[in-house]
Amino acid sequence: MSRKTATATLFGTLFTLHMVAQAQSNVTLYGMLDSGVTYVSNQGGHSNITMADGINGPTIWGLVGSEDIGDGARVVFNLADQFSLNSGSFLPGGSLFTRNAFVGLTNPRYGNFTLGNQYDFMSDSLYASHDDPAIYSGHLYGFSAGPFRKLGIPNNPTGNFDWSRTSQSIANSVKYVSPTFAGISMGAMYGFGNVAGSIGTGNSSSFGLNFTQGAFGANAAYTYIKYPVTSGTVGPQVGIRNWGIGARYQGPSVGASALFVTARNTATGGEVMKGSIGANWFVRPDINLGVSYSYLKGNEQLENNHANETSLIAEYFLSKRSSVYAMAVYQRTNSGAQALINGFTGPTAASSGSSQLVARTGFRTRF
């Protein structure tokens, strides 16, 4: 064989291997962008009109990829970042890929095993499965909040922001999700505290149980997070324990769901629960209407405060990926409590009274 022929054969072989590798692996860029104008009836005693993003779904971008390694197994990864569209900056306390950053293996016979910074099962089993009625109407404004700042979740912008962990991650975690048998799958997750000499400090655990049969599904989840503290009288760490159950029906044009979630501060005894129901209806393929109702109640440590909250949305789809919408969320608490709809932070986030109304128009697109 001549040198010229050998060289051509070598390049041909390398090209073929490259094409095979491309056929066996892929990387996809994905995301969602949401921005709009929000009116708030009462923030610290004053009304406000503000531009906000990441409300009707997170403003997010990410990379997801997989590589076929044979026998049905694949190496997978996911890198996702949530940011402020209106300023182009990271969210407060965030950095690149704080939303999701994991790598692992998946196999249809043995399940999925991943490592990194990833959602726990309060998010995976109850929110991503569409058990949470907030996905039909208020989204971020419909997540759990209310007059429960004394719940005291550490590293939380209000002490009770999204207290049911609708869309939160656990760092330094390993996660396993079983294959689905007869519509049932299970998952377990452990987050390392990475504290030398004390394995139990700052660690986390989460579990999920899922069932799907056609248009119907039901899920249960449990998460326990330990937050180390350096000062105060509550002890060396604060534990926040969440659990919830939910169910849903998703037909061709109508969907409905119900959810019950709780959170307990094991250091102070503060505990809050939330029950919610919701539905959506595609009047036409390009017009969607959604509504949800929630009742929230705290125990004695949270002054027995309670709240009723209703959310509405009307969305018009310009295409399969893009839409314009109008939404409204109203919360009413008991006398003496301060209403606080999720999504607002800072010392003047809560209403000065027992009611708070949010009205919003916005634009959303996916890619």
Chain position carrying tokens 């949270």: 302
Q: Residue 24 has what pLDDT?
A: 67
What is the model's pLDDT at position 231?
58
Residues of the chain where predicted confidence (pLDDT) is lower than 70: 1-24, 230-235
What pLDDT does residue 14 have? 38
> Tell me, what amino acid is at 35?
S
3 state SS of 233: coil
Tokens, residue 331: 């919360």
pLDDT at 281: 97
* ∠ CA 125-159-259, rounded to 5°: 30
CB contact at 8 A, 183 and 211? yes
Q: Alpha-carbon Rg of the chain, whole angstroms?
A: 23
- pLDDT score for 5: 44
DSSP 13: H
Q: What is the pLDDT of residue 232?
A: 55
In tens, the pLDDT along 167-206 reads 899 999 999 999 999 999 999 999 999 887 778 889 999 9
Map tokens 């606080």 to a residue.
340
pLDDT at 15: 40
User: What is the per-residue pLDDT for 200?
Assistant: 82
The pTM assigned to this predicted structure is: 0.89
Single-letter amino acid code for the residue at 33: L
| Distance (Å, whole) CA 40 – CA 330 | 10
Question: All domains of the chain, ordered by start, with CATH?
Answer: 33-366 (2.40.160.10)
